[in-house]
Structures are given as structure tokens and as C-alpha cells.
Chains A and B, each alone.
Chain A
Amino acid sequence: MWNPAKSLVWRLAILILGGAGLVLAAVLVSSTIAQQRQLVKQQQQQGDSLTLAAVNRIDALLGRVVSTANSVSVCMKKGLPTAQDAEKLLADLMRKSPEINGISIAAVHGTTDWAPGVISAYRDNGTVRTRVAPRSQSHQIEDWYYLPTHLGRNVWVEPYFDHTSGRSSVTYSVPVKGADGTIIGVVTCELSLEGIREMLDSLDLGEAGIATLVSAQGVYISHPIRAFEMRETVYSVAESMGDVGKPLESLIALSRKMLSGEAGMSLYRRSPKDTPSYVYYRTVPATGWACSVTIPEQQILAPLRRQNTLNLLIGLSGMVLLLGAALAVAFSLTRPLHELAGAAGRLATGDFDAPLPKVRHNDEIGRLTSSFARMREELHSYIEELTTTTAAKEKIASELAIAHQIQLGIVPKLFPPFPERGDLDLFATLEPAREVGGDLYDFTLLDEDHLYVAIGDVSGKGVPASLLMAVGKTLLKSTIQAVRDPARAMTMVNDELSADNESCMFITAFCGILNLRTGQLTFANAGHNPPLIISQSGDTRFLTRRPGPALGAMCSVRYQNMDVELENGELLLLYTDGVTEAMNAKGELFAEDRMAAVAAANPKANTQQLIRTIVGAVTAHADGFEQSDDITMLAVRSTTCRAIEAPQPPSRQADSTIELNNKREELNNLVEWLEGEGEKLGIPAHTVMALNLALEEWFINIVSYAFVDHNLHRIPIRMWRDDNTILIQIEDEGQPFDPCAQLAPDTDAPLEHRRIGGLGIHFIRKTMDLMHYRRERNRNILTLAKKF
């Protein structure tokens, strides 16, 4: 989302406009304040002088009235003989003073000789006329007469509106005193206020400015609102403007100030919220009237407002132009940036072809664009390289994964492998290195007494190694199952592998068949590390007999079987060089000694515990250093196959002895001897029968297979009875043959496939309570025992 506040363009524009606006505002404000002061000052001087001029003119007019009345008064004092004289005097004065509206003389009754009461001169359409009113009391109640006579002094009567003439006037009254001080009459001089009104109206006060004249009692003599004149007073107007029963205080205060006789200026606001007006006021000295000029501040400041409006418009237009210019510059600066940002955004999504802005100038932005283009190219080539490398790595990784799968998939992994065999404890482990080493192990029960174990290490790494390992393992197993002879199997496998071994890969291997009854291990070694044997007491020994060459290394090698007797409970440990050559960071090997020491320290441990312990020791030794070879071990321990000690014939002379030749015909002698001796020794008939069958079988076996020559050989048979056990020992000088090592025949297999002799030996094993074979002094010695 594009945010204007974050756009460089707008920030730039706002910055420029804000700065310019501030400057403009500062200029406007300061000039306004200065001009305002100037204007107000000018207006004050102007208002002051206007008021003063108006008051002076009014005063001059009034002064003429006063002097006219006074001169009449003087004349009257001197004495006016007739009414005609008086009329003439008044008419003359009127003609001399055109501003005077009328002059009257009112005589106090009895003080003059005139019959009439009031003599007046007045204007009638510009013509001066005189009038003589008859004597009456009515004028005595009029202020012009009443006031001077009661006050005894000259007096300005309050202005009034004359309905007959339709004009407002003001009268000056002078009491005329006789020689004795008594008032003999009153002289009045009347001035029309029209002239004053017109003069005030003609003042140049602008549109909203007003000039007013109020009497000493606050009555409006002249006001732009004509209806106010002679009817409203400043106080009544204050009442109208104020609330009910509460006249407008501000106006009353102003009025009292105006009527106090001072001259001055007030800034008047009707209410605090109203716009103010400047009121200039001055008192007319003769009458105490107050003349005022009121100018609203708005009017004074109107030209300033107009100028300000104009300034503001010019300023704003300038700002708009400035904004345009600022935006143009800002856009020209930011357009390439914007395009660059877009290109960078597309770059982020993998688009390397987004167009870049053209480099127009070699300014910062131009250089940025060039740099960006360069960066993009480099990035592009780098990514291509990376892609290739990654693909290769992935390939390797997938190969490794396949190798792992092959390796791990091919070795038996279910432990314990023979849960029904309490006498057999076997455990194996294969911990592949990161780069698969091609180790293998294998085991299987050939029959219930014979266990096949093998371990191997393929030279080389990776998939080829694991493939060869798979081939080697499979070949070994299938061959050993067929021939039941480690040496022969190895020889055959070697021939197979070396026949077409272009890659020159080979396998060091160890394989053996463990007779679970006797503990005899028949094995062949093809260049593999010597297995370790650990006794229950913690003694260890390596099977360091000279090994043959590795499988596949060279053809036509004949491997030799070797035998070793495992004592009951002794443990056979097969391992690969991944264990002994495990290295730590310093390059130190784990070594056979340490392995043997670890094993010796745990003689009672079962196979799994022992292997875990050794693996733990290896891991501790490596201390995080990555191993380059697989760590593979196989441990086996047989515990029950020799539960009965190899029977030792009693040291005494045999109870019965017979020596037979290796002739089938001797069989009858054997039967005769056994039945006869059995009767003598008190052996039950069915036991004799079983013994008979077993002996017959073994005897025929010896006669048939033991001797490769055709010479006559002696076969001694001895018999002992111990309580209820019959012990029989048979010796021959034939080639070695261990019936115990023979696998149980496959009784389910077709008869022709069964191996010769197999069934007989099986029969002996089943019928005898014990069958023990040993070879001493180049003689096969078979011991049979039968209880009854």
C-alpha cells in the first residue's frame, strides 16, 4: 500500500511548501500587525481632529447665538421704547445672523410699557418676519421662560423638536434684569440644529462610521437614525440593547464618560464578543453636549484586510506554483528510484529482467542505477553458479542417501534376533559415517546348534562401496548356507568377486560358524581385524591368526579354516576398523587396546550393553569430531550349549572293553558285546537297545568315511557304568570329523538331497543324553552317555 506520508515526493513537497508557507505567514502576520498599528494610529489622529473640528464649528455657531441674545438683552436693559423698536431690532439682528432661526423678547408683566407679552422675529421661507403675541400666561410654563426666570441666569434650554416647522432647535435664554435686579423679561435666541446635523452628516467617516451629538441630558440631538433624535437618550438606547431591567452597562459607562466633559477615545465593544469600535468624543463647552465619532475597527482595518486577502491570494498562487515545481523536481528525482525499487522488488521474486531506469545523468541516482545493474548481473551469475553447485550437492546427497538405505536395509536389524533362544545373546550395530563406508555384518542360525556370523568392510566409500557390500554380504551368506564351511565359502566368494573386479574394490571380511553346543568357532579371515574374545572373568584375547587376503583382491586364493574353542560364557566381538581407527580432533586413534580395555572392564555386560558402552567410549573419544568410517560391531555369547561338562570317563579301568576292526562285519560282534555286557552290568534292555542303535550308527559312519586308505584300523570301545548312567567312549584314527558340528538334517527335504550321514548323527543326538566329540593325538574320540 502506497502511503503518501511515507512517499519521498510528498515529504519533499510538504517540506518545501511548509517552509515557504511559514515564511509567507510570518511576513503576512508581521506586516499586518505593523500596518494595523499604523492604521489605528492614523485613524486616531483623524478621528480626534474630526471631532475637534465638529465641536469647534458647533461652538462657533452657539457663540453667535449667545452674543446675539446678549446684545438684545443689553438693548432691552437700556430700554426699548416701543414694540416697533423691538421688532425692528430683532429683524435687523436676524438678517445679520442667517443661522439664527428666531429671536423673542418676553416682557414680565408690568415691567415694560408694551401691551403685548412676547415680541418675536422668525423666518418664513427665508423672509424675516416679526410677530407680536398678546399678553398671556401661557409662555410662563415654557422652559425658555420658566428656566431663566427661576434660575436667574442665562441658560441653554434642552433642544426640542418643533412639529410646526418640522425642525429641531435649541434655544438660548437670557433673563433681563432691571436696574433693581428684578427680572423684567427674557430674551431668547433660537438656533436651528439642521445645520449642525448636516455638518455632522457630511463628515467623511466611511461606510460604517457615525457621528452623533447628544445633549447634556443624553438626548440624541443628531444621530444617523433620525427616529432617535429628541426621543431616545443614550440611557434609553442602553435599556433597549440590554436585558430586561438591566441596561447595557458598556454603553452607559461610555455615555457617562462622554458627558463628563472630557475629550478622549474609547475602544467600545457592545459585549465582549462584539467587534470593537473606536469612539472619539469631545464636549461642546457652551452647552455640555457631547459630540462623538464612532468608527468600527473593521472599517479602519478594511483596506488592510483587502491587502491581506490580495497578499494571501498571491502567496497561495505562489505556493501552488511552488508545489508544482517541487512535485516536478521530486518526481524527476524519485521516478528512477521508484523504478529501481520496483526492479529490486521483482529481483526479490527472482525476476532478473525487470527494466532499469535509463541513466540520464551521472548524478547520485545514475550511479545508484549503474551499481544496481552491476549488482544484478553479479547476483545473476552467482545464483547460476549456486544452482549448479547445489544440484551437484543434491545429487551427492541423494547418492549418499541411497547408499545409506542400501547399507542399512541389507543388514539384519531386529534385536534380539532369536528371542526364543535364551542361551544365545547377540547384538550388532552399524553406525554409518556421513560418507557411507560400506561396512557389513551378518548372522543367521544355520540350524539350532550352528550360528553363522560375519563382519566385513568394503574398501572405498559411497554407493559403489555399499553396492559391493550388498553383493559381498549376500554372496557370503548364500555360500555359507550351501557349504557350511567358512574357508570354502570365502574361497568361492573371492573367486566370484575377483573374477570381474575392474574397480579393484575388495572386502576385508571375517566369517565363522559357532557351534552352540561345543563353543567351537570355525572361522576364516579375509584380511579383517582380528576379533576379540572376552571371558567372563574379564580376560581378553584377539584372534590374531594369520589372515588371508581380502576378498576380491586377488583370485584363486585358498582360505584356511581355523578353530577356536569358546569357553562357556565367553563373548566374541567382531568389529571393523571404524571402531579402532576412530579419531579425535588431535588425530589420536581409539585403538584396539582401548577397545579391549573397555570390554575387559565390562565382562558381565550383555552384548547390547557392551556394544553401547564401546560406542559411547568411541563417541567420547571422538568428542564431536566427525568420523569418516562406519562404526560396526557384532557381539555374540553362547551360554547353554555346554551345560554338561565334557564327560570325563572315570579314571578307573573301563567296566568293559572291546576292540573292533574297521569292517562292517564287526557289527555283529559289537551287538553281541553290548547285549552281553549290558546284561552283566544290569542295564535295562531298552537302554541297551538305544545304545546299540547309536553305536551301530557311529561305527558304520567310521567304517564308511573315516579312513581314506584301505588299511585295517583298530577301533577301541570302552564302557562304564556309574550308578544309572552308561558312558561309552569310541576312538578312531580317521580324519577329523566332528559330529557335533554337523547341522541338523533338513528332515523335510527330499531324501536324495539329504547329506550322507546327517540322519545318523541326528539319530545319535536324539537318543543319547550326551554326545561329546574331541580330537586328541590325531584321534577322534566320541563320548556318549545314556541315563536309565
Chain B
Amino acid sequence: MLLSVTTALILPCISVKAADTATPRPLRLVMHWDHQSQFAGYYMALDKGFYAEEGLDVSIIRGGPDVRSCETVAEGGAEFCVSMLSTAIEKRALGLPMVGIAQVVNRCNFQVVAWKKPDAVKGVVIQRPDQLSGRKVTVWEEDFRLPYEAFFESTGASPKLVPQYYTLSLFMNRGVDACATMHYNEYHWLLQHGVQEEDITVFPLWQYGVDLPEDGIYTTEEFLRENPALCRAFVRATLRGWEYARDYREETLDSVMQRVNEAKLPTNRPHMSWMLNVILESIFPPTEDSWTFGKLNKRQYERASRILLRHGSLKSVPAYDSFIIMEEAADVESR
């Protein structure tokens, strides 16, 4: 709270300085999924004029199944993107010149949800991950698959993995016994579609050591090198947007729902409200030693890297110092 107040007091001075420089260059920020509360902070930074106050002319590009945010930035389609840390590491390892300039979501929201009683006849009650062995479980493809592989390996479960796409219809039709969910999204979707909490068992991945930080802001090495001040201003404004989202949730939800409605997405306000509350819990540290708001430290990075190296197909990961450049977040922290 003190942080946000001081930020609000100091920022106008900086914005005056930034505005003097020149006509602002248009900047594009690409999401890695459809509009939803997961990106509320960016919307608020834009809608409340925090980017403008920094002298930034930012536009937000929606993500989705057809958008790969890191590639978009690497190919010059945008200056900044939101991406999962695991995804960004992989892309960088594959040669994309990504650098992380802020770590927004510091907690892992990946879960496995299983039917508590998967068999109609047999009286098996799923209570531990290893009970999923031999059972069909849907998990996401590609970069989202990694955390689950790590989870199953570390828990000694060997389920039959079935690819999971945009819906949980197979799980809902009891075609599989478990599925992958995000705590802030699919888990609540299940509850909104008639699944009762007492009928399912939830395995949050972070409780099993798979504690991968999630959304961060990335740009290219080149852009960061040429526009360090601009990047710092962008991160400042973004984090301010998140603080605003935390403090004014209903107004934030209005902004989210406006975008959701414009995109005609089949979702509803209670779901977006759930998502906003859960994502905010993953962004702002519950205790001071949990993590640092907006920042990824080396220890967190190296732990995530180890998980990816052990369970993924990656042979090496980028060095922290060259990949995570978070002075901007440090600015925020120091204030």
C-alpha cells in the first residue's frame, strides 16, 4: 500500500520528463491468451492512462490459440509480450532473443483436477497423484505440458496423457479421469458448469514442488538495449496498473468485461471476478519473503530452470544475468 502511494506521488514528475523528449513511439503489447482478468493490470495501465503518463503510446493486442506472443515480438509484430516464464525460457533456448523485464505472476496456478470417484462401479477414491497411474488424463500441449510432466514424474504417477485443447469437454463427459486446469480459470469454469467441489480432487502443482512463476513481460534484447528508459517506464506503468487493479476491482472488472464483450467471448462476470481475485493473489506477495512484486530473483529462476532441464526436452537454459534484466522492477521495489 505504502509502495503504491509513493509511486503515485512520484510518477507525475517522471512523466513530465518523459513527455518532453519527443513524440511518443507507438508501442504494442501482445497477450498470450484471449482477453480475460489474467491481464487486468495491463488493461488498467492503459485505461487509467498510466502508460500515457510515462509518455508511452501503448496498444494491447489480444492473444489466443492462434497467437504465439514471443514469436510475435521476435518477428517485430510487437515490442512487448506477456508470456509464461517456462515458455520464454524455451523460446530463448530455441534462439528467440527474448529478455524478461518483469515477472508479474510469481506463483504457479497449474493444477490437476481429478474425479474423486472415477469409476462408476469400483470404489476407488482418488486422493494422491500416484493413483492416477494408468488412468487417462488430459494435459495441454507444447510449453504448457512441461509443468505436468514434471509433476507426474516427481509424484511417481504415470497416467495415460491425452492432449487437452481449449475445452474440458472430455473430462466433463468422463472420457478421462483427470484434466489440467489453471486455478484462476478452468478450475472455476468446472464449478460454473455443474461440477461440485466434493466430487473432485485438486492437486495444485506448486504443492508438489512444481512452483513455476508464470506471466512475465518480455521484449527483445535489441529493443531493451536501444530503449532502456522506455522499457523501465513501461514496466513501472504496468505494475502501477496491477496495483490499481488490486485496489479497484469492480472498476477493473468493468474494463475486463468490456473487452470480453467486444470479443464476444463465452464467459461471464463472476468467472472474471474469480480470475481477477486469484491472479492478484499470485501477483502480490502474501508475505514479504514470498517473492518480490514484479520481479524474478535468481534463485526462483534457477529453480524453474532446473525443473525445465530435468523434465523437458531442453538441453540448456539461458543464463539468468543475460536473460532476466529487471532493473525496472528493482526501481519499483526500491521505492
Contacts and interface: CB of A to CB of B under 8 A. Distances in A.
Interface string A218-247: 110000000000111101100110000000
B269 interface: yes
Contacts of A631: none
Contacts of B162: 150
A396 to B, nearest CB: 109
Given A147-B175, A218-B192, A218-B193, A231 B266 contact: yes
Interface in A136-158: 141-143, 146-147, 150-151, 155, 157-158
A143 B264 CA distance: 19
A151 B266 contact: no
Contacts of B172: 217
A150 B162 CA distance: 9
Contacts of B176: 150
A80 B176 CA distance: 33
Contacts, number: 62
Per DSSP, chain B at the interface is: loop
Contacts of B267: 231
B165 A239 contact: no
A106 to B, nearest CB: 15
Contacts of A150: 162, 170, 175-176
B173 A155 contact: yes
Contacts of A614: none
Contacts of B165: 141-142, 146
B139 to A, nearest CB: 14
B194 interface: yes
A90 interface: no
A235 B264 contact: no
B16 interface: no
A632 B327 CA distance: 145
Contacts of B191: 235
A163 interface: yes
B145 interface: no
A217 B163 CA distance: 22
Contact of A163 (B167, B193, B264, B268): B264
Contacts of A230: 266
B28 interface: no
B12 interface: no
A161 interface: yes
A287 to B, nearest CB: 12
Most buried by B among A157, A163, A239, A240: A239
Nearest to A259: B194
Given A143-B169, A150-B170, A233 B264 contact: no
Contacts of B192: 218, 233, 235-236, 239
A673 interface: no
A239 B170 contact: no
A737 interface: no
A146 B193 contact: no
B167 A236 contact: no
Chain A, interface SS category? mixed
A142 B192 CA distance: 21
Interface-central residue, A151, A160, A235, by most chain B CB under 10 Å: A235
Interface in B158-209: 162-163, 165-167, 169-170, 172-173, 175-176, 191-194
B270 A217 contact: no
Interface in B139-168: 162-163, 165-167
Given A233-B192, A236-B192, A239-B192, A146 B170 contact: yes
A219 B165 CA distance: 20
Nearest to A256: B194
Contacts of A163: 264
Nearest to B196: A256
B117 interface: no
- Most chain A CB atoms below 10 A, which of B166, B167, B192: B192
Given A150-B175, A157-B169, A160-B266, A236 B194 contact: no
Interface residues of A, number: 28
Contacts of A218: 192-194
A147 B268 contact: no
B173 A235 contact: no
Contact of B193 (A141, A231, A233): A233
B271 interface: yes
Interface in A450-486: none
Nearest to A232: B268
A240 B193 CA distance: 15
A216 B195 CA distance: 11
Nearest to A158: B169
A259 B173 CA distance: 15
A161 B193 CA distance: 17
Interface in B84-121: none
A255 B170 CA distance: 22
A147 B194 CA distance: 19
B119 to A, nearest CB: 16
B171 to A, nearest CB: 11
Interface string B228-270: 0000000000000000000000000000000000001011111
Contact of A236 (B166, B264, B268): B268
B270 A240 contact: yes
A143 B176 CA distance: 14
Contacts of B169: 143, 146-147, 157-158
Contacts of A161: 264, 266
A217 B166 CA distance: 16
A259 B165 CA distance: 26
A233 B191 CA distance: 10
A436 B122 CA distance: 136
B317 to A, nearest CB: 29
Contact of B173 (A151, A160, A232, A240): A151
Interface string A192-227: 000000000000000000000000111100000000
Given A217-B193, A219-B193, A236-B192, A231 B268 contact: yes
B184 to A, nearest CB: 15
A142 to B, nearest CB: 8
A157 B266 CA distance: 15
B7 to A, nearest CB: 28
Nearest to B170: A150
B175 A236 contact: no
B115 to A, nearest CB: 15
Contacts of A232: 268
Contacts of A158: 167, 169
A231 B261 CA distance: 10
A151 B193 contact: no
Contacts of B194: 216-218, 233, 235, 255-256, 259
Contacts of A151: 170, 173, 175
A230 B175 CA distance: 23
A217 B189 CA distance: 10
B264 A239 contact: no
- Chain B CB count within 10 A is highest, among A157, A158, A218, A236, for A236
B141 to A, nearest CB: 9
Contacts of B269: 236, 240
Nearest to B269: A240
A395 B268 CA distance: 115
A233 B172 CA distance: 15
Interface in B68-85: none
Contacts of A231: 266-268
A308 B316 CA distance: 84
A231 B272 CA distance: 12
Given A141-B166, A142-B165, 13 more contacts: A146-B165, A147-B173, A147-B175, A150-B176, A155-B173, A158-B167, A163-B264, A218-B192, A231-B267, A235-B194, A236-B270, A239-B270, A255-B194
13 contacts: A141-B163, A143-B169, A146-B170, A150-B162, A217-B172, A217-B193, A218-B194, A231-B266, A231-B267, A231-B268, A233-B192, A235-B194, A240-B269
**Leading 3 A-B pairs by shortest Cβ distance:** A239-B270, A217-B193, A141-B165
Interface of B: 162-163, 165-167, 169-170, 172-173, 175-176, 191-194, 264, 266-271
